[in-house]
Amino acid sequence: MGYVAVKGGNEAIERACRLFAHERTKGTSPPLGVEQIKEQLYLAADRVMGEGSLYAPDLAALAIKQSAGDTFEAAFMLRAFRATQQRLGYSLPSSTEKMRVVRRISSAFKDIPGGQILGATSDYTLRLLDFDLLKDDAARRRAFREQIFSSLPADAEIPETFPKVIRILRREGLLEETLSAAHPEERAFDITRQPLTFPASRSAKLQALARGETGGMLALAYSSMRGYGDIHPTLGELRIGYLPLTVPHPATGEPYVAGEVKVTEAEVLARMQGSDGMPRFSLGYGICFGQNEIKAISMAILDRCTRTEKPNCPAEDPEFVLYHIDGIEAMGFCNHWKLPHYVDFLSDLDRLRKAQEMARAGKQQERRRC
Amino acid sequence: MLMREWLQKEAQLRNDETPIAGYPFGFMDEGAKKEIRRSILKAVAIPGYQVPYGSREMPIARGWGTGGLQITLSLVKPDDVLKVIDQGCDGSVNAVNIKKFVATVAGVTITTDTRAATLIQTRHRIPEERMSGRQILVLQVPYPEALREVEPSEMETRRMHAEADYSRMWLFLYEDIVKYGEITISYRYPVTVNGRYIMDPSPIPRWDVPKLHMADTLFLFGAGREKRIYAIPPHTTVEPLEFEDHKFRTENFSGKACARCGATDTYLDEVIDNASGERRFFCSDSGYCDKRRLAWNP
């Protein structure tokens, strides 16, 4: 009987793994370099770093190559690698005003102090396939670069810092007080060391959101803005740039800049009634590694939604949101259904057969009584 | 098809005389445009009623005006004069983008002058200048459902419209007045069209709502993401929801004037000065503001 497949599991597994690696290598195209992924598919690498919660562009690119472009798997590898690394310490809080800005927009005000900086974005591109890209090569790239740089002014001045748009509203009392002032936390809750409990502290919530899965967060945020909830946000400011990372020196404790990380930050405004009864804007905050505007905006919306006093819909329930947005946990559980469930299923079968038997017997008895 | 053949076909298409290689006039195929025009006719016949339609994928993102764009593309003719505005401004990024696209696929003339345009696509504003019966205003709509605020389910809101069961909307407004002493709906103020359907006038400010009432112009509303088209035909009553003792009010700009053209009768944008942090006001309708300035210094 070929039904009982207990033996030979080891070899089958090994061959399946090797076949997966082979699938990626069987074409005739030249092997994809990790540098190429990092440079040319940088948005994929950024997304994987965010969801994998490890800022490591090279490793993210490697993970993307290895997983054949599956961003869930790639983020999973980064998370697993992260767990092997020793925790050296925590960085010091850093103001995003000091960010080296490459893109900054506001949809609340037409003109903002410091100006709107569109930066690199696909927002205004027509989504038409560019068949010229089929003929991409070094010479074309050189020509394209020359064309771009030849028309640029040589010495445009770049301001050192850009003021925050929300400051203007705060100054006028149109924005709720800062949350950190209302609920000070002595030190940040570390979700990689402690399990989430509810009500979750704000630092725990923001961490969970910062490493949540883009698609899942988008779906929940979209449900709220579309009608199952009532957060209709205005994007106070969205900025992308490089944030200096300051850490205390391990020996002296003096702060020093260890490097910088590329982040996307979103601040959304939604109307609310303040604790003093005055109508105000409230702030939703989102930040994530790399350039991932969908995720930062979704995070900011979910941050705001989950502060609603009486949750009316899934996106407003902090437990619902925080337990379901982690892509790595969700995909792991979803995939686990592929594992054998022979034992529990048999137990189900037994109960079902028994129940049917009882039902039939009951019906016969009833008939007899009539 | 092999990539090589694809490239050959592509090169061939590029030499054709269509406005943009490989794409038909007006981007969409004739069948799709006809289908949308039929939905528009139905919408015109039942003012304020949301007609579902097979919204197509556009090369701009959903939520960026694809509903308006599909209406524009299904109506546009080569001799049309097109104006596109975003928040009142002809030069806004999204307006520029849509304009560029329609001009490329339909070869139309572009204008910033409301009076000169035959077709105007807009996001969030109705031009200040009164429009004529020869013009069409196409509004981009993010949320076509005026009752969404009080009911998240589409099936339920369809029922409410069918039965003209608008009690929850009225209750919402009433509760707002009880809680805040004021109706807090700012833009997207709900209106009753032709005495029958409650309709979302798209996110125009309350300032623009009276312009819809008994107008000479045809207003078409397109929601691409939500796949709905609706319309206000010319000379149709459009009444904002209000109570006898609590009337509808527009935004108040009394005591303020445009810092560029001096207008005191237009919808104004608040702008914060870069250096001083001081606030100033400018006409939101940039085309109208430019025209007024030109009249001073020709």
**Closest to B99 measured CA to CA, from B56, B55, B138:** B138
- Residue B105: is its pLDDT beyond 60? yes
| C-alpha Rg value of chain A to the nearest Å | 26
Task: Confirm or reject contact between A311 and chain B (CB < 8 A).
Answer: no
- Say which residues have a Cβ less than 8 Å from residue A326's Cβ, sequence separation at least 6: A208, A211, A212, A213
How far is B269 from B279, CA to CA, in rounded Å?
A: 10
- Chain B, nearest residue to A278 by Cα: B180
> Which pLDDT score, from 0 to 100, does residue A1 have?
44
Where residue A120 falls among pLDDT bands split at 50, 70, 90?
Answer: very high
Where residue A212 falls among pLDDT bands split at 50, 70, 90?
Answer: very high
Residues of B noted as catalytic: 48, 258, 261, 283, 289
* Chain A partners within 8 Å of B149 (Cβ): 230
How far is B206 from B186, CA to CA, in rounded Å?
A: 7
3-state SS track over B45-114 = HCCCCCEECCCCCCCCCCCCCHHHHHHHHHHCCCCCEEEEEECCECCCHHHHHHHHHHHHHHCCEECCCC
| E runs forming strands in chain A | 100-105, 234-248, 255-273, 279-289
How far is A75 from A59, CA to CA, in rounded Å?
A: 10
Q: Interface pTM (ipTM) of the complex?
A: 0.75
B152 and A227: CB-CB below 8 Å? yes
The 10s digit of each residue's pLDDT in B47-102 is 999 999 999 888 888 888 999 999 999 999 999 999 999 999 999 888 999 999 99
Q: Which residues pair with B222 in a beta bridge?
A: B140, B229
Among B93, B150, B157, B183, which would you mutate to test the A interface (most chain A Cβ atoms within 10 Å of its Cβ)?
B93
The 10s digit of each residue's pLDDT in A235-289 is 999 999 999 999 998 889 899 999 999 999 999 998 776 667 777 888 999 999 9
Q: Check: CB of residue B271 under 8 Å from CB of residue B89.
A: no
- Residue A83: is its pLDDT beyond 60? yes
More confident: B219 or B278: B219
How far is B156 from B39, CA to CA, in rounded Å?
A: 22
> Poorest-confidence range of A73-77, A96-100, B227-231?
A96-100
How far is A172 from A194, CA to CA, in rounded Å?
A: 39
Q: Check: CB of residue B261 under 8 Å from CB of residue B297.
A: no
Task: Confirm or reject contact between B267 and chain A (CB < 8 A).
Answer: no
> Which pLDDT score, from 0 to 100, does residue B130 have?
95
CA distance B49 to chain A (A): 19
Could you say which of A113, A124, A228 has the minimum Cβ distance to residue B272?
A113
> Which pLDDT score, from 0 to 100, does residue B49 have?
97
Q: Check: CB of residue B82 under 8 Å from CB of residue B119.
A: yes
Say what percent of chain B tops pLDDT 90: 74
Transcribe A119-150 into DSSP letters: -S-STTS-----GGGGG--HHHHHHHHHHHHH
> Which pLDDT score, from 0 to 100, does residue B17 have?
46
Where residue A7 falls among pLDDT bands split at 50, 70, 90?
Answer: low
Backbone angles phi, psi at A260, to 5 degrees: -140, 155
> Poorest-confidence range of A279-288, B200-209, B230-239?
A279-288
More confident: B162 or B25: B162
Segment A334-348 mean pLDDT = 87
> Which pLDDT score, from 0 to 100, does residue B2 have?
64
- Residue A168: is its pLDDT beyond 50? yes
B60 and A127: CB-CB below 8 Å? yes
Transcribe B245-293 into DSSP letters: TB-------TT---TTT--SSS-EEEEE-TTT--EEEEES-HHHHHHHH
> Poorest-confidence range of A69-73, A124-128, B118-122?
A124-128
Where residue A5 falls among pLDDT bands split at 50, 70, 90?
Answer: low
Residues 161-200 of B with CB under 8 A from A: 180, 184
More confident: A295 or A366: A295
Could you say which of A126, A226, A313 has the minimum Cβ distance to residue B101?
A126
Where residue B3 falls among pLDDT bands split at 50, 70, 90?
Answer: low
- Say which residues have a Cβ less than 8 Å from residue B7's Cβ, sequence separation at least 6: A131, A134
**Closest to A174 measured CA to CA, from A239, A271, A90, A105:** A271
Segment B217-234 mean pLDDT = 96
Segment A303-318 mean pLDDT = 90
Segment A142-170 mean pLDDT = 82
Whether the upstream peptide bond of residue A199 has omega within 30° of 0, thus cis, is yes
Average pLDDT, chain A: 88
How far is A344 from A358, CA to CA, in rounded Å?
A: 21
Where residue B197 falls among pLDDT bands split at 50, 70, 90?
Answer: very high
> Which pLDDT score, from 0 to 100, does residue B1 have?
57
> Which pLDDT score, from 0 to 100, does residue B24 have?
84
The 10s digit of each residue's pLDDT in B131-153 is 999 999 999 999 999 999 899 99
More confident: A162 or B263: B263
Torsion over CA: A94, A99, A103, A105 (sign): positive
How far is B113 from B285, CA to CA, in rounded Å?
A: 11
Segment A22-29 mean pLDDT = 90
Task: Confirm or reject contact between B155 and chain A (CB < 8 A).
Answer: no
Q: Which residues pair with B84 in a beta bridge?
A: B121
> Poorest-confidence range of A202-206, A276-280, B2-6, B171-175?
B2-6
Q: What letter would DSSP give residue A240? A: E
The amino acid sitting at A170 is R
How far is A67 from A21, CA to CA, in rounded Å?
A: 9
The amino acid sitting at A314 is P
